[in-house]
């Protein structure tokens, strides 16, 4: 039996390098976008103003504040984070927006929806119906925009044709070394292509021939379900492994007149994730689905000998993960590879420096034991780089000879 002592972390760059394509409105095939270029992708609707009007209205505020071509204009993470900050500050009534913006928000109640948007239209109807007078209208602008962003992410990444030969090749090369996969993404491109060879912690009893595929940030095919009761307000949330179909997303009326809100179970990529770290009145990780993911993540990161990162930038939104890895680090060997979006430029050098700083934070040393290289095509190119000495030589030797090979 091979010695299993490596874990694989998959970030948004791994999705971008999967070889899977989506179809634009002009029926062209395009690669799935990485986080940093999300809103620049041809797969993200050009007519976003008609299909996602609250999100479009909010992003118009961002574009006023951000210089042309900046990360803030294109980044999915930056939009998520700004939305949650805006909602929190708006709830405290700290924003005094223009009259035109307020009029634009209330006009959304009568938005002219395109054909096929009946679900969004119904969601808007109920959201405007249950707006509470003691909360500012800016709060509800953020609420609608956050729901639409979840829907847009789902529409972009949850596509019908999910076959990825590069993902299967990568899995074939690495599986004899791996004790777990940690998928930091929401999409299921990798999961779909190795679906018979893993289990989700907490969902089923593990089998001897399978390894855990851990999803600490949730999944587009898992569901969060909230209930709103007339004159009593919100009655809490529950999570489900069951996939929420497109026509069930958002608010819908139950037979007793109450409302149910369904959305993908996602840990939103904000600086401080309350679903994970909690707050002064709510302990973190109470979800029956997310808690097993994080328990298993802590276990495998602590007991493994090698950490392999593919397409994970370890950005500010990953502070919680970096902290856990710092607590789990005990001289694990590290290999870092990311999706190279184009020719070498200043942005790439900045990205490399940021990753280096994060590795220093994790290992608490200025010279952590790691190697790294870009993947400029598809994910199956990983392990083919001669410059990847640490993994292809030292790590592979330790894999083949046993857990104490590096000490001999």
- Name every residue whose Cβ is closer than 8 Å to that of residue 53 and which is 6 or more positions away in sequence: 108, 111, 148
Rounded to whole angstroms, the Cα distance separating 9 from 141 reads 35
The percentage of the chain sitting over the pLDDT mark of 90, rounded to a whole number, equals 37
Residue 360 has pLDDT above 60, yes or no: yes
Confidence of residue 345 (pLDDT cuts 50, 70, 90): low
What pLDDT was estimated at residue 276?
Answer: 60
Is the model more confident about 48 or about 105? 105
Q: What's the rounded Cα separation, in Å, for the pair 190 and 171? A: 9
Residue 85 pLDDT > 50: yes
pLDDT of residue 401: 46
- pLDDT grade for 397, boundaries at 50, 70 and 90: low
Residue 282's contacts (CB-CB under 8 Å, 6 or more residues apart) are 274
Averaged pLDDT, 226-252: 86
Mean predicted confidence (pLDDT) in 132-136: 88
Residues 18 and 162: their CA atoms lie apart, in Å, by: 10
Which tens digit of pLDDT belongs to each residue from 197-228?
899 999 877 777 889 999 999 999 999 899 99
CA distance from start to end of the chain: 21
Between 116 and 346, where is the model more confident? 116
Nearest to 198 by CA among 341, 87, 300, 270: 300
More confident residue, 381 or 150: 150
Check: CB of residue 277 under 8 Å from CB of residue 324: no
Q: What is the C-alpha separation between 43 and 25, in angstroms, rounded? A: 8
Q: Which pLDDT belongs to residue 71? A: 53
- Mean local confidence (pLDDT), 10-39: 86
**pLDDT at residue 63 above 80?**
no
Is the CB of residue 297 less than 8 Å from the CB of residue 182? yes
Average pLDDT, stretch 33-56? 88
Closest of 119, 92, 393 to residue 248, by C-alpha: 119
- Please tell me the distance from the alpha carbon of residue 335 to that of residue 390, in angstroms, as a whole number: 7
Q: What is the dihedral of CA 307, 308, 312, 318, to 10 degrees?
A: -10
Q: What is the pLDDT of residues 289-306, one digit of tens each?
A: 999 999 999 999 999 999
């Amino acid at each position: 039996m091979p010695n299993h002592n490596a874990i694989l972390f998959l970030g948004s760059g791994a999705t971008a390098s999967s070889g899977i394509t989506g179809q634009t409105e002009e029926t062209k095939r395009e690669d799935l976008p990485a986080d940093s270029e999300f809103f620049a992708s041809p797969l993200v609707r050009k007519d976003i103003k008609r299909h996602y009007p609250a999100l479009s209205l909010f992003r118009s505020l961002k574009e006023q504040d951000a210089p042309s071509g900046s990360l803030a204009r294109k980044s999915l993470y930056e939009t998520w984070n700004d939305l949650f900050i805006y909602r929190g500050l708006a709830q405290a009534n700290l924003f005094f927006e223009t009259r035109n913006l307020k009029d634009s928000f209330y006009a959304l109640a009568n938005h002219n929806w395109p054909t096929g948007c009946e679900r969004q239209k119904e969601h808007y109807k109920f959201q405007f119906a249950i707006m509470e007078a003691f909360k500012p209208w800016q709060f509800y602008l953020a609420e609608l925009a956050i729901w639409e962003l979840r829907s847009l992410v789902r529409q972009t990444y949850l596509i019908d044709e999910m076959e990825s030969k590069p993902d299967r090749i990568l899995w074939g090369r690495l599986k004899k070394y791996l004790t777990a996969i940690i998928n930091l993404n929401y999409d299921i491109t990798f999961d779909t292509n190795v679906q018979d060879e893993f289990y989700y912690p907490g969902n089923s009893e593990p089998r001897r021939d399978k390894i855990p595929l851990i999803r600490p940030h949730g999944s587009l095919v898992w569901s969060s379900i909230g209930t709103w009761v007339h004159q009593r307000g919100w009655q809490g949330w529950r999570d489900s492994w069951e996939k929420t179909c497109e026509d069930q997303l958002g608010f819908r009326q139950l037979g007793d007149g109450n409302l149910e809100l369904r959305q993908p179970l996602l840990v939103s990529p904000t600086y401080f994730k309350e679903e994970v770290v909690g707050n002064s009145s709510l302990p973190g990780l109470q979800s029956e689905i997310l808690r097993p993911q994080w328990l298993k993540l802590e276990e495998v990161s602590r007991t493994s000998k090698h950490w392999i990162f593919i397409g994970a930038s370890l950005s500010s939104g990953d502070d919680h993960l970096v902290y856990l890895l710092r607590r789990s680090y005990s001289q694990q060997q590290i290999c870092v590879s990311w999706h190279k979006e184009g020719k070498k430029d200043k942005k790439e050098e900045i990205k490399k420096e940021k990753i280096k700083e994060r590795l220093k934070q994790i290992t608490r040393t200025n010279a952590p034991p790691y190697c790294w290289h870009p993947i400029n095509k598809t994910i199956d190119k990983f392990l083919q780089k001669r410059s990847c000495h640490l993994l292809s030589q030292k790590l592979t030797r330790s894999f083949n000879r046993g857990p104490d090979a590096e000490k001999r």
